[in-house]
Amino acid sequence: MKLSPVILSIPIYFLLIIIELVIQYFSDRKLYRLGDALSNISCGIVQQLSGFAFKVLSVGAYLLVYDHLRFTTIPSNWISWIVLFVAADFCYYWAHRISHEINLFWGGHVVHHQSEDYNFSVALRQSSFQVIWTFAFYMPLALIGFSPVDFLFASAIVTVYQFWIHTETIGKMGWFEWLFNTPSHHRVHHGRDPKYIDRNHAGVFIIWDKMFGTFQKEEEKPTYGITKPLNSFNPIWANFDHYAVMWSELKQIKKWSDKVKYLFKKPGWLPSSMGGYRPAPEVNKAAYTKYDLLVNRWLSGYLVIQYLVILGLTAFFLFQAGSFSMSDKVTVILYIIVGSVSLGGLSELKKWSWQTEIARWGFVLVSSLFASFSKIYLPLINHPYFIGWAILSFILLGLVWKKSK
């Protein structure tokens, strides 16, 4: 099975996160917060797993246009690949920019901006729905005649490039910043200060922003996040929060023409009868505090251990997905998503999350034992190692509960 460079780069991603954590440990800089970092990674996990469904839409559309509507066929060689890489980045710029400028599309991108920190884990924080609104921007490449295989590779490299620019540990980079996107340029993009809003949309080449009037150099340190903070570590709610707000506001808009405008105008737009456009407010940095909760070391340890297991299972699944049956895929995806939501709730000290975590492991343990004694095959959960892990998790959860009461 041929794997995407995005998936092949997973070990490098986590090596860089570890390096950043080491830098934090030996310096006075606070780069990571547990709940926020785990939420970022959870959103990335959910996006990768949901991608199995949404990739059918994007890849299928590209194949359809290429097979039936292309004007010509571009031969595959190193010159055409370089041209394709630059063209894919150009398409990314416009897809990314429009995702900021249309309210409906913003709902598919906002997840990436919800973190109030700025570190390598933020690069993993991706929306499950973004591809629905952006895949059409790449269709001109299919019409021109770039092969689907070459396009998927070039697009993946554009994505992989952007991982390293999500850090505060790298300062300005001199001449390199004239042409390429860098950590300094992208820190601006993640700022919610009014001067930084909707700036620096580039993927690889910052020249697109300079050409089309969306460039802003980094001056004072940005305040990261979105103008209305999510205040949640739940990866599922992160994907639906903006649409829930949209639904609430749509019900208040009376004219149908204004409802349509609301969908396609900039985020913050309202009809004049409801007060009109709401610009990004200035950030009161003296009074600003990040959303966080004090989690004791026992619960922190439990969360880290469980997330490491989920990460390992996710990586194994992504690398070996081709060998899984459909029932195995569904089982693994559900297990990982439910676990991510439950652990996200624990990191927020939600009361329901204890019940969810008990129910999660109770279901796994009972199902595993039943499958083992009855010799009925159930995907994943009747593996002896998984039974042992379920029992150990119950014991750990009991200890954490006792220390957290």
Residue 302 and residue 207 share a domain: no
Report whether 204 contacts 89 (CB < 8 A).
yes
Residue 342 lies in a domain: yes
- pTM attached to this predicted model: 0.91
Residue 321 and residue 199 share a domain: no
Region 261-267: mean pLDDT is 97
Region 368-372: mean pLDDT is 70
Region 301-317: mean pLDDT is 88
Q: How many Å is the Cα radius of gyration of the chain?
A: 23
Region 125-139: mean pLDDT is 93
Report whether 362 contacts 342 (CB < 8 A).
no
Region 351-375: mean pLDDT is 80
Instruction: Give the separation between CA 296 and CA 360, rounded to whole angstroms.
Output: 22
According to the model, what pLDDT value does residue 1 have?
44
Supply 305's token pair: 């251990």
* Whether the predicted pLDDT of 337 surpasses 50: yes
Residue 198 and residue 70 share a domain: yes
For 214, half-sphere exposure in the C-beta direction (CA atoms, 13 angstrom radius) is: 21
Region 141-165: mean pLDDT is 96
Residue 193 and residue 301 share a domain: no
Single residue among 167, 194, 212 that ends a domain in this structure: 212
Distance of CA 308 to the CA centre of its chain: 18
Phi-psi region of 299 (alpha: psi -120 to 50; beta: other; left: phi over 0): alpha
* DSSP character at residue 146: -
In terms of Cα–Cα distance, which of 126, 147, 101 is closest to 50? 126
Residue 249 lies in a domain: no
Residue 67 and residue 201 share a domain: yes
Region 168-183: mean pLDDT is 97
Percent of the chain topping pLDDT 70: 95
What Cα–Cα distance (Å) separates residue 42 from each residue in 12, 30, 81, 225, 231? Answer: 18, 21, 33, 17, 15
Instruction: Give the separation between CA 42 and CA 47, rounded to whole angstroms.
Output: 8
Instruction: Give the separation between CA 344 and CA 38, rounded to whole angstroms.
Output: 8
Residue 207 and residue 70 share a domain: yes
Residue 71 lies in a domain: yes
pLDDT tens digits for 71-127?
999 999 999 999 999 999 999 999 999 999 999 999 999 999 999 999 999 999 999
Listed in sequence order, the residues at least 6 apart from 23 whose beta carbon sits closer than 8 Å to its beta carbon are 29, 31, 169
Q: Tell which wins on pLDDT, 322 or 379.
A: 322
pLDDT band at 374 (very low <50, low <70, confident <90, very high): low
pLDDT tens digits for 200-227?
999 999 999 999 999 999 999 999 999 9
Phi-psi region of 174 (alpha: psi -120 to 50; beta: other; left: phi over 0): left
According to the model, what pLDDT value does residue 52 have?
74
Q: Tell which wins on pLDDT, 287 or 328.
A: 287
Residue 308 and residue 204 share a domain: no
Instruction: Give the separation between CA 31 and CA 25, rounded to whole angstroms.
Output: 10
Residue 306 and residue 195 share a domain: no
Residue matched to tokens 């309202």: 270
Average pLDDT across the chain, whole number:
90
Residue 169 and residue 309 share a domain: no
Instruction: Give the separation between CA 151 and CA 278, rounded to whole angstroms.
Output: 39
Residue 284 lies in a domain: no
Report whether 131 contacts 149 (CB < 8 A).
no
Single residue among 196, 212, 228 that ends a domain in this structure: 212
Report whether 127 contacts 47 (CB < 8 A).
yes
pLDDT tens digits for 231-241?
999 999 999 99
Residue 154 and residue 51 share a domain: yes
Residue 200 and residue 305 share a domain: no
According to the model, what pLDDT value does residue 179 have?
97
Amino acid present at 203? G
Residue 181 lies in a domain: yes
Partnered with residue 180 across adjacent β-strands are: 205
Report whether 29 contacts 176 (CB < 8 A).
no
Containing domain of residue 319, as a range? 297-404
Listed in sequence order, the residues at least 6 apart from 265 whose beta carbon sits closer than 8 Å to its beta carbon are 102, 103
How many domains does the chain divide into?
2
Residue 304 and residue 187 share a domain: no
For 240, half-sphere exposure in the C-beta direction (CA atoms, 13 angstrom radius) is: 7
Residue 367 lies in a domain: yes
What Cα–Cα distance (Å) separates residue 337 from each residue in 50, 111, 270? Answer: 10, 16, 35
Residue 290 lies in a domain: no
Single residue among 185, 212, 239 that ends a domain in this structure: 212
Residue 194 lies in a domain: yes
